[in-house]
Structure 1
């Protein structure tokens, strides 16, 4: 079973190192298209070779992956429809053709549609290969080679990838082809997708390409830091997914994808400038602003003393909302209640003065 964990980790590393640039180029969902359309390349190559383990299947899948990218770009260049629509029309068309071909002409071949889509990494160790006298899963060997190739590609073309990702116009001006770099990247994405696709299924391939990167993107902004953090999160997702799937007798692929989502949501919600913290800050700022408005209203000569109902009517607040605001201001020492009216304290007058400066307001 430990081999399953190794397959998950190597697959996640091989895909996520390329996924960094896909996410930064706003092309995360292109991986969704490729991970499905490469099935057409597998099917067509199988019809030619009649061998489900032929290396030509990987080549055919890679070519269809590149064709997918080319067709999406071709449609985008017309400016007639948006990028997400072009992805949707291309990938559904090519994937549908693959499904039709499998169901019509390859019904007795081990190209099970459900396993292809959902995937089951537990089956990966069953298909083995002899390397230097050691028997290892074929998927582990192939993904290990791809990890080396992909890491080498990113290291060798790091500067070019960085410039073409963040400033393609500058890349063009200084003289190297962004198109060449782009199609080299997408070719590796296609090849990596088809090998990982065979091991873990299309759903987890998409997750591996995107989820670790998006989590890292929320935490760091420097590209080199993002790449290393993405790799760490990819290993973490795979390890936790494996442990949960193994101990709870769940699908490894499903468990790993679920863990990736939970880690992403945890970071999204609870990081220092995450969703919950921003909501709290926004609520606090709104409350502080309303406090300032009430105090500035009370600083007017005609409102030296003012009732709760007058404040409620002036700001269109409910009585309970107004009571809460005034109670907080009274506890903080900014106002004092006399009979049924409220008036500023000395501290409230000082706060009002600084509030006018902060919110760039002038007296009424």
Structure 2
């Protein structure tokens, strides 16, 4: 398979998996949590490196997931103590991310681990970092990880579809029905962390945030049905990844940045053209005469 094809597959998997997770983030009014976790996983990656002095391996994944879960626990704890949720997210996210930056500057030294790489990623390196798999041959490691994560996310959403739907729209009703709302919250935060970590090294924090929030926000403008929203959001994520790559190739600029920018274009078009919530539809729709 060609170099370009592997980049497109990697980015499409990021768009697809983040698009699915993003729907639940938007419905639960937790969009900023995506921004928080995509930055605080840097702390987990740095701590894992400081413990092992190795830049690859399962310990990096474990460290990043632990940092994501720590973020969720701290935000939830502050919120339960009376702090507004957006303020809780802001305090935890900036503090943990800043700690990660400080550790990089003072402890990491000459290792290839820096803030610019964390923010923008380096998707052009993905096709070169490969592993050998039986029957499949040599495949980029990032693709294998993202396929596994995408399957996990799909199974979790399909298997607990009813529970996600009820807890997202009416947590009080879910609790009265005996559904473990808090447990599902932390399961969901684990899904966000795993998805973020899987995409983090290849595409960076900026694209992860864009893919988690913007396709889902665009899909929300087109439909009120949860299943359709999942399909639209994941499709918008894949479309943004593919179109963004060719924009980057045309302008000779950052691939991840172009993909993130394309998600914004998709949202603007949805904001203008969606039949129910779009700006143009409000002007075209005939006014209802007063009774």
Q: TM-score, normalised by structure 2?
A: 0.94
* Match 1:140 to one of 143, 149, 155: 143
Measured after TM superposition, the shift of residue 281 of structure 1 is 6.6
DSSP-derived class of the 1:176 partner: coil
Q: Distance in 2 between matches of 1:168 and 1:271?
A: 29
Q: For each residue in 1:79-122, what CA deviation from the matched residue of structure 2 results, as whole angstroms up to 9, or x when unmatched?
A: 2x422221111100000100000110102111121111122311
Pick the aligned partner of 1:83 from 76, 82, 85: 85
Aligned to 1:362: none
Where 1:175 maps in the other structure, the secondary structure is coil
1:246 aligns with 2:249: yes
Q: Contact 2:18/2:237 (CA < 8 Å) preserved in 1? A: no
Map Cα deviations across residues 151-193 of structure 1 (whole Å, 9 max, x no partner). Answer: 0110111111111111111111111201111111111211111
Map of 1:167 onto structure 2: 170
Contact 1:120 / 1:251 at 8 angstroms: preserved in 2? Answer: no
Counterparts of 1:236 and 1:130, CA distance in 2: 29
Q: 2:121 aligns with which of 109, 119, 122?
A: 119
**1:212 matched to which residue of 2?**
215
Q: How does 1:1-364 map to 2 (within 5 A)?
A: 1-79=4-82, 81-132=83-134, 134-272=137-275, 273-278=277-282, 280=283, 358=290
Do the aligned residues in 1 keep the contact of 2:218 with 2:267 (CA within 8 Å)? yes
Cα pair 2:122 2:201 within 8 Å, conserved:
no
Q: TM-score, normalised by structure 1?
A: 0.75
Structure 1 unaligned regions, length at least 5:
289-354, 360-364
How far, CA to CA, are the matches of 2:169 and 2:126 in structure 1? Answer: 38
* Aligned structure 1 segments of 4 or more residues deviating by more than 3 angstroms: none
Q: Which residue of 2 aligns with 1:305?
A: none
| Deviation (angstroms), 1:264 | 0.6
Output one character per residue of 1:240-294: Cα deviation in whole Å (capped at 9) or x when no partner: 111211233221111111111011101102323412443x379x97xx9xxxxxx
Alignment check: 8 A CA contact 2:17 2:234 kept:
no
Larger Rg computed on CA atoms? 1
CA distance in structure 2 between the aligned counterparts of 1:260 and 1:21, rounded to whole angstroms: 18
Q: C-alpha offsets along residues 30-78 of structure 1, whole Å, 9 cap, x if unaligned?
A: 0100000011111111111111102011111111101101111111122
Residue correspondences, number = 286
Contact between 1:59 and 1:191, CA under 8 Å: does it hold in 2?
no
The RMSD of aligned alpha carbons is: 1.8
